[in-house]
């Protein structure tokens, strides 16, 4: 039988993986498939139980080498009409998880199929919710650096933004809808407080790898009853992102100050930003691999989203985030990734595995 090209391998693996509806909590649906594929590639494979979240898939070849980490779960499709029937759209693969991160896994499998050197792999659960999969990981023997596969447009992300999740409750005063002057709209008050938050000092913080500075996503707002009642209550859910140089504690303090008139402020999540030195082994070898494989200078960038790298860095392992595709299309109806970019990713990973010093 004719040997498949790297492109053909990536397309086959990506389309196969995208058909599994592995929303968080259902990652086990693709476990048997990945066990078989990793075994065929000469890897030692085992499961690692994760309390309350299923099991990670751990694979190894030899001892040491680069440590590749990415996740099995995909973001919920919500109202997506056909999320788990992937499509080829010209030079792109489309479907839920194409870029986040089934396409990355397909490129990794292709790289493993073209190398024999030591390498460690962790395919983890629960990234899209609580990150319990990467939190449960133990650092493999001999590992000195990790590459977390997420979409970065093939930029080498040596820093990751911190984040704070918030739920804000705002009270108003009800009145008949045709006499709004007799009441106080909780929804209008909520928007006023939101505007104050956008003017908080942390929003002006800048970092070379995060040119847009800090940001706020008002992901959900709900309140009131109908148009005939001035809304007496409103609830907002927000996600705040901020670059290294700020702490979650400081961002929360400024948020509470800006929104002091809210009825309640609940902090639902808080993560510190991190940054890896350019001189770190994993950064230097990935940079060399990039330039050797693609014949152009590597570009450094920052990762705006939380990734499993946050837990890896907490374990004392220098990490970078690296992968094909655009983060902006993840979690959307038009999630897709370029096959050519996945090929380029596979080529860089091959070079990285081969360049990594042994011993």
The tokens for 175 are 């009145």
Cα 239 from chain centre: 14
Contact 277, 318 (CB under 8 A): yes
Q: To which H or E segment does residue 229 belong? A: none
Domain 6-160+274-355: what homologous superfamily? Zn peptidases (3.40.630.10)
∠ CA 28-32-353, nearest 5°, is: 100
Closest C-alpha among 349, 346, 343, 347 to residue 93:
343
Query: Measured between alpha carbons, how far is 7 from 28 in angstroms, rounded to an integer?
Result: 27
CA distances from 351 to 166, 290, 347 (A): 42, 8, 6
Mark 42-76 as b/e (b = at least 16 C-beta within 10 Å): ebebeebebeebbbbbbbbbeebbbbbbbbbbbbe
Say what the pLDDT of residue 1 is: 38
Provide φ and ψ at 131, rounded to 5°: 70, 25
CATH architecture of the domain formed by 162-271: 2-Layer Sandwich (3.30)
Cα 249 from chain centre: 22
Note the pLDDT tens digit of each residue in 225-254.
999 999 999 999 999 999 999 999 999 999
Note the pLDDT tens digit of each residue in 328-349.
999 999 999 999 999 999 999 9
Which residues have CB under 8 Å from 104's CB, separation 6+?
Answer: 70, 149, 150, 151, 323, 324, 342, 345
For CA atoms 122, 124, 128, 134, give the dihedral sign.
negative
Query: Measured between alpha carbons, how far is 125 from 308 in angstroms, rounded to an integer?
Result: 10
Rounded to a whole number of angstroms, the CA Rg of the chain reads 22
Say what the pLDDT of residue 173 is: 97
Which residue ranges of the chain lie beneath pLDDT 50? Answer: 1
The tokens for 305 are 């989203």
Q: To which H or E segment does residue 60 belong? A: strand 54-61
3-state class (DSSP) for residue 7 = helix
DSSP string, 185-207: -HHHHHHHHHHHHHTSGGGG--B
The residues of the chain that CATH labels 3.30.70.360 are 162-271
Give the chain's count of helices (H) and strands (E): 9, 16
Query: Measured between alpha carbons, how far is 49 from 64 in angstroms, rounded to an integer?
Result: 22
Calculate the CA dihedral of residues 11, 13, 15, 21 and round it to 10 degrees: -160
Query: Measured between alpha carbons, how far is 8 from 339 in angstroms, rounded to an integer?
Result: 10
Query: Measured between alpha carbons, how far is 46 from 166 in angstroms, rounded to an integer?
Result: 37
Q: What is the pTM of this model?
A: 0.94
Calculate the CA dihedral of residues 253, 258, 261, 263 and round it to 10 degrees: -50
The residues of the chain that CATH labels 3.40.630.10 are 6-160+274-355
């Amino acid at each position: 039988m004719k040997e498949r090209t790297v492109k053909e391998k990536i397309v086959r693996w990506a389309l196969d993986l995208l058909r599994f509806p592995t929303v968080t909590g259902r990652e086990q649906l693709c476990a048997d498939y990945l066990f078989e594929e990793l075994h065929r590639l000469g890897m030692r494979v085992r499961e690692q139980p994760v309390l309350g979240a299923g099991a990670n898939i751990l694979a190894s070849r030899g001892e040491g080498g680069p440590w590749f980490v990415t996740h099995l779960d995909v973001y919920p499709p919500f109202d997506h009409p056909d999320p788990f029937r992937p499509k080829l759209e010209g030079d792109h693969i489309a479907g839920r998880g194409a870029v986040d991160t089934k396409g990355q896994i397909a490129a990794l499998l292709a790289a493993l199929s073209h190398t024999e050197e030591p390498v460690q792999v962790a395919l983890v659960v629960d990234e899209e919710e609580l990150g319990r999969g990467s939190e449960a990981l133990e650092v493999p023997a001999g590992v000195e650096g990790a590459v977390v596969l997420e979409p970065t447009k093939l930029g080498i992300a040596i820093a990751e933004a911190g984040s704070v999740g918030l739920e804000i409750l705002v009270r108003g005063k009800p009145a008949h809808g045709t006499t709004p002057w007799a009441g106080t709209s909780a929804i209008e008050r909520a928007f006023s407080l939101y505007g104050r938050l956008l003017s908080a000092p942390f929003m002006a913080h800048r970092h070379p790898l995060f040119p847009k500075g800090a940001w706020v996503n008002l992901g959900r707002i709900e309140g009131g009853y109908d148009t005939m009642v001035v809304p007496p209550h409103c609830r907002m859910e927000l996600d705040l992102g901020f670059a290294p140089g700020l702490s979650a504690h400081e961002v929360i303090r400024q948020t509470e100050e800006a929104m002091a008139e809210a009825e309640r402020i609940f902090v639902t999540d808080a993560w510190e930003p991190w940054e890896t030195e350019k001189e770190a082994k994993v950064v230097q070898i990935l940079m060399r691999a990039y330039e050797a494989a693609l014949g152009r200078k590597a570009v450094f960038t920052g990762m705006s989203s939380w990734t499993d790298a946050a837990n890896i860095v907490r374990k004392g392992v220098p990490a970078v985030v690296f992968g094909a595709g655009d983060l902006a299309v993840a979690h959307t109806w038009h999630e897709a990734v370029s096959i050519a970019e996945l090929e380029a990713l596979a080529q860089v990973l091959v070079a990285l595995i081969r360049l990594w010093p042994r011993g």
